[in-house]
A = this chain, B = another copy of it.
């Protein structure tokens, strides 16, 4: 445990809060919408602004890195201490599109502070959560009297996250030496609720595929031929239906091979979260929950692999009926994966399973359209414990653990850099990511600053057995 006086950190933050918020507002005024080619200059302006600001913060290195698409920002502040862990902070400086007429009460790129919140596109996702690291490292230095962080601190802030990070893996591979680190801290997630600080411990992986099924060479008459020839729409349905058994467990042989099962401790921790199933279901715009037997809703979305039909089509889809046996049908499937599942092995299992289930007369084409590995840091990982401790000090209360059901570039960081990925985020579900009137809670933003201030000290002085240098 660090001996940094928590009160010194708080005093520093309090002193610099107003200037920090002014700076953040300045950044939020840059409409860095990566999905819109018309905002390409703004995305570049956003990168330049951030690099300047990081230099002003004290980072001796702050560079704009080009990609085949939008630029990223890299910054580095070496500790100077021999054996200090190296930490890479990940975030993104691009934002989702936003327009006043979508339902914003104020201009999305004119930040407004009201009732302790700052409203602007990107306030929470992700500029606010990137920017708290600038004040965080300054508070860390002020409270410890250091002139450089206790860890070798690096930042990689990409500019295409809201666009699917198409060039991010290449960027990571191209700069793997400069990005080398002992752990990645992703600041692009959230916590359970305003009064429930949590640390996310992992994301699910993802395998996506399209299955095209071909039967008769053309649509044929269901009276003349129906009942005696294979129907690709029926076979598509039989495939999709066979994805799950009666317990809604994925029925593809080998699918669950090697998965890291939830521990009793993790299940207990999930169960301790103040979860309101009815409220969650409403939030999902759904009318019931349904999933793998033997698991709770949170376990199903966070810690269990799934098979989902994202799209199905075949045959006649216009008004009324048409008595045909259709010529073709198509399935769009996706599989969420959890730790221990391998995307290649899952793809192979899907391939074999489909090939073995189709009758003669049905030809198929299987195309994998995407694969992202799962990532999970064990609860007892010293660096994860350090994040939880730092957050606990900032919030003055016990920190709980969550996961996220989605998939993201965190997996690329884990895979390319070969290090554990930790998550430090202070956004809450009501922040409205991708929605009108996105905001960030200013008190929570300051807790993020405070957590970062504690974290670098804790990581350097706590158990460092997990770092590369320690091996």
Q: Interface on A for B, CB 8 Å cutoff? A: 204, 206, 208-210, 215-218, 220-231, 233-234, 236-244, 281, 284-292, 297, 300-301, 304-306, 308-317, 320-327, 329-330, 332, 334, 336, 359-363, 369-370, 404-407
Contact = CB atoms under 8 A, between A and B. Distances in A.
A12 B345 CA distance: 79
A61 to B, nearest CB: 34
Contact of A225 (B322, B334, B405): B405
A228 B288 contact: no
B289 A236 contact: no
A274 to B, nearest CB: 17
A281 B229 contact: yes
B325 A229 contact: no
A360 B287 contact: yes
A117 to B, nearest CB: 23
B317 A313 contact: yes
Contacts of A329: 312
A210 B405 CA distance: 34
Contacts of A305: 227
B216 A204 contact: no
Contacts of A288: 229-230, 359-362
Nearest to A322: B310
B334 A317 contact: no
Given A310-B322, A332-B322, A334-B323, A289 B228 contact: yes
- Give the oligomeric copy count: 2
Contacts of A291: 227-229
| A306, A309, A361 pick with most chain B CB within 10 angstroms | A309
Contacts of A322: 310-311, 332
Contact of A301 (B204, B226, B313, B326): B226
Nearest to A368: B321
B222 A310 contact: yes
B297 A323 contact: no
Contact of A229 (B209, B290, B315): B290
A311 B301 contact: no
Given A206-B323, A287-B362, A288-B360, 9 more contacts: A217-B286, A226-B336, A227-B306, A230-B286, A234-B309, A290-B361, A311-B316, A311-B317, A312-B329
A406 B308 contact: no
Contact of A325 (B208, B221, B308, B404): B308
Given A227-B306, A405-B226, A244 B240 contact: no
A204 B306 CA distance: 42
A309 B243 CA distance: 19
B301 A310 contact: no
18 contacts: A208-B323, A209-B321, A216-B286, A222-B308, A222-B310, A222-B334, A226-B334, A228-B300, A229-B290, A230-B290, A231-B309, A237-B237, A287-B361, A287-B363, A308-B323, A310-B324, A311-B322, A313-B317
A193 to B, nearest CB: 16
A157 B126 CA distance: 74
A300 B237 contact: no
A103 to B, nearest CB: 14
The 4 nearest A-B residue pairs measured at CB: A288-B361, A223-B406, A227-B306, A237-B240
A217 B308 CA distance: 17
A309 B363 contact: no
B405 A284 contact: no
* Interface-centre pick from A216, A239, A314 (highest chain B CB count, 10 A): A314
A306 B227 CA distance: 5
A216 to B, nearest CB: 4
A199 B182 CA distance: 83
Contacts of A210: 321
- Residue picked from A206, A281, A288, A308, most chain B C-beta under 10 Å: A308
Contact of A286 (B220, B332, B404): B220
B406 A224 contact: yes
Given A208-B321, A233-B309, A284-B216, A406 B221 contact: yes
Nearest to A209: B321
A314 B240 CA distance: 12
Given A227-B306, A241-B240, A242-B241, A311 B361 contact: no
B220 A284 contact: yes
